[in-house]
Amino acid sequence: MNLLTELVAFIVAIGVLVVVHEYGHYSVARLCGVKVLRFSIGFGRPLVQWVSKKTGTEWTVSALPLGGYVKMLDERESAEKIPASDLPHAFNRQPVFKRIAIVAAGPIANFVLAVVLFAVLYASGVSEPAAVVAAPPAQSAAARAGLQGGETVLSVSDANGSDTRSVRSWTDLRWKLLSAAFDQGRVVLAARDGGATYDFPLDLSRLTSKDLDDDFMSKLGLEAGGGTLRVAAVEPDSAAQHAGLEKNDQLKAIDGRPVDSASTFINYVKAHAGKPVQLTVARDTVAQRAPQTQATPQASLQTLTLTITPAMQRDEQTGQEVGRIGAALSAQTPSVDVRYGPLESVRLGAYRTWDIAAYSLRMFGRMITGEASLKNLSGPVTIADYAGKSARLGPSAFLSFLALVSISLGVLNLLPIPVLDGGHLLYYLVEAVTGKAVSDRWQLVLQRAGLACIVALSAIALFNDLARLIHF
C-alpha cells in the first residue's frame, strides 16, 4: 500500500511540475507569436494525443512520465521546408529578448507555482511546532547565549538590530537562522521567558560547511522543546526494563537536567554508554492498576527516580560505541496555527520561495567547490519516497513538498549548463551583448559537454538514492 501511495504521489507531483514548467514556455511562446507544434507530457511512445483546432498544437501524454517538452517551429530543427507564411512565427526568427523570455518562462512558472502553494498554505493556516527552546547542552552556542530552556523565540535580528524578522514557529526560526548562517555572523534572538522578553546574542561563526550540511540547529544547541516526552514501549531484557522503566512513563529529567526534547534525551543517553544516569519520571500509578471494568479514576502522578545504565552499542553510521537503553519514545510538542491574510500570504510565499531558491543555489555552488557533499543530490527514488511520506501526512505536507520540488526544478533549469534552459539563456545573453549568435559548432560542443554533465549528475543522484535505500 505504501509503495502504491508513493507511486501515485510521485506521478501526481511530477505531472503537476512538468505541466506548469512546460506551460510557462508554451504560454509565453504563444504571446510572442511563436507557433507551437507539440506540447508533450512525458517522453517516448504517445499514449494519448489530440490536436487543437484553434492553434494546431498537438497535445500529447507519453509513456515515460519523467519530464516533458514544448516543440516550437524552428528552421534549424525542421527536415522540411517551412512555408513562407509560417516563417515569421518560427522561434529562431524572433528577437533575442523574446527568445530569452520564452526560455526563462519555464523556470519562472515553477517559482510562481511555489509562491502560490506557499500562499495557499499561509492563508489556510498550517500547524507547526512552536518556537520553544529546549534546555541546551552545556557549552553550546545556545547555552553561551544565555538560553536555559522553555523560552519562546519571538524574532531574529542582526547584531546591529537593524534587520528584525518576526518568528512564528520553529520551522520559521530554522529558515531564518539558516539564511543568517551563510554570513557566518551573529544574530540576536528576542525570546519570551515567563512574562518578560529578553535578548539572547547567538554566535553562528563557529558553524562549518559540514554543520550546514547536517543538523546545524543541534550544533547550535537548539532543539524544539516545551513538550512532554513519554515512553511508548520498553524492549524486553533491556537496560530500561532492568531499571524499572514502564510504558507511558513521562520523562521529566535526566541527571537533573529537564527533558522536553527527544533528540536531547537520546544524545545524552548516547554520550553516557556504560555510565549510570539518574532518570526522573512521572508515573500514573492509579490508572495503571485500575480494573478495566470500572471507570478510570482521576490520574494520580507519582514522581520516581530510576538509575539506568545505558548499554554500549556500535553506531552503524559513525562506528563508535554509543549508549542505548532500549525504549521507544513518544514526543508531544506544542504547536501553533500559522495563518495570514491574502496579501501577507503572497508576500511571505514569495519571500519563502526566494529564500529556498537562494539556499539551493548556495548549496549547489558549495558542492561544486567541494565544500558540501555530493550526497545532497537526490534522484527520482528519493523524490518518490518523500512524495509518498508527505502525501500520507496530509494535504498541507504534500503541498509543501510540491513547492520545494518546484523551486528545485526551477533552480536546476536555470543553471548555465547546455541542454538545460540556463544553457540556452547563456547563449542568448551572449548574443544580446555581442550582437552575434553563438556558432552552431560551439553549440554542438557545449551541448555534448552539458549532456555529459547531466548524465554524471543523474548517475550520482541515482547512486545516492540506492545508498539511502539499501543503507550502504
Concatenated DSSP letters for 263-278?
HHHHHHHHTTTTS-EE
We report the CATH number of the domain holding residue 262 as: 2.30.42.10
336: β partners: 128
Query: What is the secondary structure of 328-395 as a DSSP string?
Result: EEEEE--EEEE---HHHHHHHHHHHHHHHHHHHHHHHHHHHHTSS-GGG---HHHHHHHHHHHHHH-H
Residues 156 and 282 in one domain: no
204 and 268 assigned to the same domain: no
What are 212-269's pLDDT values in tens digits? 766 788 889 888 888 888 999 999 999 999 999 999 999 988 998 888 778 778 888 9
Secondary structure letter of residue 93 according to DSSP: G
**Which secondary-structure segment (H or E) carries 45?**
strand 36-51
209 and 288 assigned to the same domain: no
Residues 464 and 432 in one domain: yes
Residue 269 exposure: Cα atoms within 13 Å on the Cβ side:
27
Residues facing 212 on adjacent strands = none
Q: Report how far Cα 265 is from the mean position of its chain's Cα atoms.
A: 25
Q: Which of 184, 202, 220 is the last residue of a domain?
A: 220
* pLDDT for res 234: 92
How far apart CA 224 and CA 197 sit, in angstroms, is 19
Same domain membership, residue 311 and residue 244: yes
**Residue 324 maps to a domain:** no
Q: Is residue 32 part of a domain?
A: no
Exposed / middle / buried, residue 169 (Cβ in 10 Å: 0-12, 13-18, 19+): buried
Do residues 101 and 207 share a domain? no
C-alpha grid cell for residue 247?
510504558
Domain check: are 312 and 268 in the same one?
yes
Q: Which of 187, 220, 253 is the last residue of a domain?
A: 220
Asked if residue 301 and residue 265 are part of one domain, the reply reads yes
Alpha carbons 203 and 58: distance in angstroms, whole number: 58
What is the total count of domains within the chain?
3
Per-residue pLDDT reduced to its tens digit, 4-37: 777 788 888 888 999 999 999 999 999 999 999 9
Asked whether 210 and 224 are in contact (CB, 8 A), the reply is no
Distance from CA of residue 195 to its chain's centroid? 34
Range of the domain at 210: 141-220
CB 375 within 8 A of CB 457: no
Half-sphere exposure of 227 (CA within 13 A, CB side): 22
Contact partners, residue 209, CB within 8 Å, separation at least 6 = 366, 371, 372
Residue 279, in any domain of the structure = yes
Q: Which of 135, 254, 118 is nearest to 193 (CA)?
A: 135
Q: Are residues 206 and 285 in the same domain?
A: no
Q: What are the grid coordinates assigned to 367, written together? A: 558542492
Cβ-based neighbour number of residue 187 at 10 Å: 23
Which parts of 194-326 are beta strand (E)?
196-203, 228-234, 250-254, 257-258, 277-284, 301-308, 311-314, 321-324
Residue 88 inside a domain? The answer is: no
62 occurs within a structural domain: no
Domain co-membership, 214 together with 235: no
pLDDT of residue 301: 78
Task: Give a yes or no: residue 10 inside a domain.
Answer: no
The answer as to whether 358 is a domain residue is yes
Give catalytic status of residue 22 as yes or no.
yes
Cβ contact 109:320 at 8 Å: no
Residue 130 to residue 145: CA distance in whole angstroms: 20
Q: How far apart are the first and last CA of the chain?
A: 26
What are φ and ψ of residue 13, in 5° steps?
A: -60, -50
Report the pLDDT value the prediction gives residue 470, as an integer from 0 to 100. Answer: 66
Residues 273 and 350 both lie in one domain: no
Give a yes or no: residue 459 inside a domain: yes
Q: How far apart (Å, rounded) are the C-alpha atoms in residues 128 and 168?
A: 9
pLDDT score at 184? 60
Which residue in the list 6, 22, 151, 223 is annotated as catalytic?
A: 22
Determine the Cα–Cα distance for residues 333 and 171; give it in Å rounded to an integer: 13
- Asked which of 317, 351, 381 is the last residue of a domain, the reply is 317
**3 state SS of 171:** helix
Is 72 within 8 Å of 81 (Cβ atoms)?
no
Q: Could you say which residues of the chain have pLDDT below 50?
A: 292-297
Question: In terms of domains, do 186 and 311 share one?
Answer: no
pLDDT for 119 equals 93
